[in-house]
Amino acid sequence: MAEELKKFAEKVTGAGRPKAGEIGIRNRQPHAFAFADDGETPNNPDLALVVYRSPVVLDSRLDPAAIFEELFAAHGWEESWRDAMYDFNHFHSRAHECLGIARGKLTALFGGRKGRKIELKAGDLVVIPAGVGHRCIRKSKDLLIVGAYPPNGGKYDEPKPGEIADAVVRDRIRKVPLPATDPAYGENGPLFSIWRRH
């Protein structure tokens, strides 16, 4: 709640928010991780989880959450929020999601019980395809994540494994279209070297 009030105040006053051209971006190679359906978590049969290691320069003069919000918005990723990651396994069956680590660090388990633990720190960015399970295992006290979604996604959901019939969830995941842009690098970002346009 405090972060949402801070976000509102920043938008009204402009304090702590980057202006056009103030967001520093480093060229980073994407790291891709594919996960098969494990019988509980559907994951995504076609799209891999993508991790960018510190592509965003977190300028100490600016609110790090606002930097990610403005970056995501500039590339058309919407409905941003500020929070942490749930400590239970969940996924999104109707939309892809990107996460920017604004503060702190965490260890997350992606891909369900047979998935992979990945450590993330401030400045990192993760693109999670629809269906890929994720949960926080450990986090620093100061952890703050900014999340957002591409506009061509469907209605937001966050089911846990077993809450939606397998056939239904697989059909939903298959129907989620590719985003038009990479949330870090825009229209021609390296995301599309992994997530092929169909």
Look at residue 197 and tell me whether its pLDDT is greater than 70: no
Whether the CB-CB separation of 127 and 183 falls below 8 Å is answered with: yes
Confirm whether 165 is domain-assigned: yes
Please, are residues 66 and 17 in contact by the beta-carbon 8 Å criterion?
Answer: yes
Residue 177 has pLDDT above 60, yes or no: yes
Q: What is the pLDDT of residue 198?
A: 33
Domain count for the chain: 1
- What is the Cα–Cα distance from 79 to 149, expressed in whole angstroms? 6
Please give the average per-residue pLDDT across 126-140, as a whole number.
98
Share of the chain above pLDDT 90, in %: 84
The answer to whether 84 and 102 have CB atoms below 8 angstroms apart is no
Return the pLDDT at 14.
Answer: 60
Domain assignment present for 191: no
Residue 174 is assigned to a structural domain of this protein: yes
Give the lowest-confidence range in 18-27, 41-50, 88-97, 165-174: 18-27
Which tens digits make up the pLDDT trace of 76-115? 999 999 999 999 999 999 999 999 999 999 999 999 999 9
* % of the chain residues with pLDDT over 70: 91
Lowest mean pLDDT among 1-5, 85-89, 191-195: 1-5
Sequence-distant (6+) residues with CB within 8 A of 113 are: 38, 40, 41, 89
Has residue 134 got a pLDDT over 60?
Answer: yes
Is 23 contained in some domain? no
Are 140 and 106 in contact, with CB atoms under 8 Å apart? yes
- What is the average pLDDT value for the chain, to the nearest integer? 91
Q: Two tokens at 90?
A: 């969940």
Mean pLDDT for the stretch of residues 16-21: 82
Alpha-carbon Rg for the chain, nearest whole angstrom, is: 16
Angle formed at CA 128 by CA 175 and CA 144, multiple of 5 degrees? 140
Residue 20 is assigned to a structural domain of this protein: no
Residue 25 lies in a domain: no
Q: Which strands form 134-139's sheet, in the order they lie side by side?
A: 116-121, 105-110, 134-139
pLDDT band at residue 17 using 50, 70 and 90 as cut-offs: confident
d(Cα 133, Cα 129) in Å, to the nearest integer? 9
The answer to whether 43 touches 132, Cβ cutoff 8 Å, is yes
- Domain assignment present for 140: yes
What's this model's pTM, rounded to 2 decimal places? 0.91
Which one has a higher pLDDT value, 82 or 15?
82
> Whole domain around residue 152: which residue ranges?
2-7+30-181
Q: What gap in Å lies between CA 1 and CA 134, rounded to an integer?
A: 23
86: domain CATH number is 2.60.120.10
- Residue 32 CA to residue 39 CA, distance in Å, equals 22
The answer on pLDDT for 12 being more than 60 is: no
* 1 contact partners, CB below 8 Å, separation of at least 6: none
Establish if 160 belongs to a structural domain.
Answer: yes
DSSP state of 15: T
